[in-house]
């Protein structure tokens, strides 16, 4: 029941973020405890093996699936799709990474994500003059009024390193720099398939209810057994 509850929580979070730009789907990895072999013992006969029985399951980990989502066009020049990695942003915890390409310019003139985190380039925080004509080249160059201001820092997980979600559409991993591949006037949607998630959510609920009924049935048997033993004692 605890395993299915964890599945429900993970799937619910995926569904809640199905419209979040750049969100990466999470998946629960379940492992089974070692099976136990049951024997029938009768008088002095040799034990007769009846077969294995499961001893339960547990949540091994919740992994983030770094699979690209669909790309959609946008009319905002500050919207970009990062096709081969993650943006590097400055946070109170240090440098973190995001696929959120919905950018803006804050009151101090810095390029920021929709959550307010400053986007970092190869020279540090990217500052842009208000009112300038902004172009993002395919190679990640930030061009304002024909002048290259900086180049976006794009990184990917080193050696297939696992991605750790830390909230607010941010992730953490061991980064390695990659050559940027940027598309302006586009956004990457989440990689959540809502139909599949709904099917899995229904499956998790049904599995939870089935386990719950088994527990209730065993409680009923135990209660009756204790009641009968008390009556004959």
Tens-level pLDDT at each residue, the chain (233 residues): 999 999 999 999 999 999 999 999 999 999 988 888 888 877 767 788 888 887 788 899 999 999 999 999 999 999 999 999 999 999 999 999 999 999 999 999 999 999 999 999 999 999 987 778 999 999 999 999 999 999 999 999 987 678 999 989 999 999 999 999 999 999 999 999 999 999 999 999 999 999 899 889 988 888 888 887 766 65
Query: What value does the mean pLDDT of the chain take?
Result: 91
Q: Are residues 99 and 145 in the same domain?
A: yes
In the block, which residue shows the tokens 């089935």? 210
| Residue 196 CB coordination number (10 Å) | 12
Under 8 Å between Cβ of 124 and 173: no
154, 82: one domain: yes
Q: Are residues 39 and 101 located together in one domain of the fold?
A: no
Note whether 31 and 119 are same-domain residues: no
Q: Label residue 169 exposed, middle or buried (CB < 10 Å: 0-12, 13-18, 19+).
A: buried
Alpha-helix runs per DSSP H in the chain: 2-16, 194-232
Task: Give the range of the structural domain holding residue 142, as residue numbers without chain letter.
Answer: 71-188
Please indicate, yes or no, whether residues 93 and 139 belong to a single structural domain of this protein: yes
Let me know whether 76 and 178 are in one domain: yes
State whether 80 and 180 are in the same domain: yes
pTM score of the predicted model: 0.81
User: Are 89 and 168 contained in the same domain?
Assistant: yes
Considering the domain architecture, whether residues 51 and 127 belong to the same structural domain is answered as: no
Two tokens at 153?
A: 């820092």
Euclidean distance between CA atoms 195 and 197, whole angstroms: 5
Residue where the block lists tokens 């001893």? 55
Q: Are residues 133 and 214 in the same domain?
A: no
Chain segment 84-117, per-residue pLDDT in tens: 999 999 999 999 999 999 999 999 999 999 999 9
Whether residue 156 is found in the same domain as residue 201: no
Contact 54, 33 (CB under 8 A): yes
Same domain, 115 and 134: yes
Of 77, 79, 98, 78, residue with least CA distance to 87? 98
Token look-up 């099917």 returns 199
Split into its structural domains, the chain has a count of 2
């Amino acid at each position: 029941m605890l395993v299915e509850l964890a599945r429900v929580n993970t799937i619910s979070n995926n569904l809640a973020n199905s419209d979040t730009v750049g969100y990466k789907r999470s998946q629960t990895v379940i492992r089974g405890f070692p099976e136990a072999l049951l024997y029938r013992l009768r008088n002095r006969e040799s034990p007769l093996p009846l077969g294995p029985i499961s001893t339960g399951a547990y949540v091994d980990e919740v992994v983030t699936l770094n699979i690209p989502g669909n790309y959609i066009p946008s009319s905002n020049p500050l919207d970009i799709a990062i096709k081969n990695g993650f943006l590097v942003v400055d946070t109170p915890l240090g440098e973190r990474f995001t696929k959120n390409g919905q950018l803006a310019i804050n009151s101090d003139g810095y390029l920021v994500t929709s959550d307010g985190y400053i986007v970092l380039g190869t020279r540090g925080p990217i500052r842009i003059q208000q009112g300038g004509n902004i172009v993002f080249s395919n190679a990640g160059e930030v061009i304002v009024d024909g002048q290259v201001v900086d180049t976006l820092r794009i990184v990917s997980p080193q050696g297939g390193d696992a991605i750790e979600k830390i909230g607010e559409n941010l992730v953490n991993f061991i980064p390695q720099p990659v050559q940027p591949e940027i598309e302006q006037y586009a956004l990457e949607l989440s990689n959540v398939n809502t139909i599949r998630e709904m099917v899995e959510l229904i499956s998790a609920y049904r599995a939870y209810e089935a386990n719950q009924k088994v527990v209730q049935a065993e409680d009923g048997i135990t209660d009756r057994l204790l009641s009968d033993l008390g009556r004959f004692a």
